[in-house]
Amino acid sequence: MQLAASTALAGLLPSVALAGEPLTNVKKSAESLPDPLTSLKDITSYNNFYEFGTAKDDPARNAGSLRTRPWTVSVEGEVNKPKVFDIEELLKLAPLEERIYRLRCVEAWSMVIPWIGYSLAELLKQVEPTGNAKYVEFISLEDPKQMPGQRDATLNWPYREGLRMDEAMHPLTLLAVGLYGEVLPNQNGAPIRLVAPWKYGFKSAKSIVKIRLTEKQPITSWMEAGPSEYGFYSNVNPAVDHPRWSQAKERRIGEFFKRPTLPFNGYADQVAQLYAGMDLTKYF
């Protein structure tokens, strides 16, 4: 009797997938790379997530305070059908795929990460972008109570990033909800983050609460923080150095020798045509 009651109660409760729990029904994607994977330990302990501190091990240490339920993502702006999506709905919006992508940070290190998610285009199609939608802005959570790094003015909070509409609709552009077969760890941007693998890692906003389609190019947090160092496009480009260091090579985390950085992080065949006619030495 007791067992029956608790089973019935469990049936009424929403099934909440929290960090570290396995994600099921994930299919392999043709977009995956053959590169050896970076270890789960490195992916989850060497992070940039300034909302939890600026040291690489701060996010793993501090992101336990992030509450990922309840969580909603408002998709708004230049769309015919604006909607606030609950995270449980987003987890089921499209079939989950494992996509093994390179992540190249602007700081000249890289990783190979088996993300789980689906193309951002799947979500954007649902809200019906209007003809005026030229850009997409991504806004991360702002809550200094949960995010101790936001008590410092390291960046203008909330963290904001953006893509051009055709970049956002490109099939490689991923909304990630997991990695290594599991629900996304908090330090990697739970419960939902962007991954744009041909761009420097800072474009891939974590813990997103708002996606806004706009006519004008959004100003991102990094453009505000360092306009001479960080531009809107930020495509990985070994030929254009950061003002303070070379971008020609990178250190793959877990490896000893540096390796050459590839144009568009190795995704040139898929994305170079998006920038036809643009001077890529200018559009950092």
111 burial (CB, 10 Å; 0-12 / 13-18 / 19+) is buried
Residue span 143-162 as binding mask against ligand MTE, x where in contact by CB under 6 A, dash where not? ----------------x---
Helical H runs in the chain?
2-12, 40-45, 58-62, 87-91, 120-127, 165-169, 221-225, 268-271
Distance CA 49, CA 88 (A): 24
Distance CA 37, CA 151 (A): 35
Residue span 207-246 as binding mask against ligand MTE, x where in contact by CB under 6 A, dash where not? x---------------------------------------
Number of residues forming the site for ligand MTE (CB under 6 A): 17
Distance CA 24, CA 95 (A): 10
Nearer to ligand MTE, 47 or 146 (CB): 47
Residue span 27-66 as binding mask against ligand MTE, x where in contact by CB under 6 A, dash where not? --------------------xxxxx---------------
Q: How far is the CB of 5 from ligand MTE (least distance, A)?
A: 42
Place of tokens 């909607």: 83
Name the one range near ligand MTE by CB under 6 A: 62-70, 77-85, 166-174, 201-209.
Answer: 201-209
Specify whether the CB–CB gap between 238 and 263 falls below 8 A. Answer: yes
Name the one range near ligand MTE by CB under 6 A: 7-15, 72-80, 204-212, 250-258.
Answer: 204-212
228 burial (CB, 10 Å; 0-12 / 13-18 / 19+) is exposed
105 counts as binding ligand MTE under rule CB under 6 A: yes
Helix (H) or strand (E) holding 220: none
206 counts as binding ligand MTE under rule CB under 6 A: yes
124 counts as binding ligand MTE under rule CB under 6 A: no
Phi, psi (5° rounding) for residue 181?
A: 80, 0
78 counts as binding ligand MTE under rule CB under 6 A: no
115 counts as binding ligand MTE under rule CB under 6 A: no
Q: How far is the CB of 140 from ligand MTE (least distance, A)?
A: 4
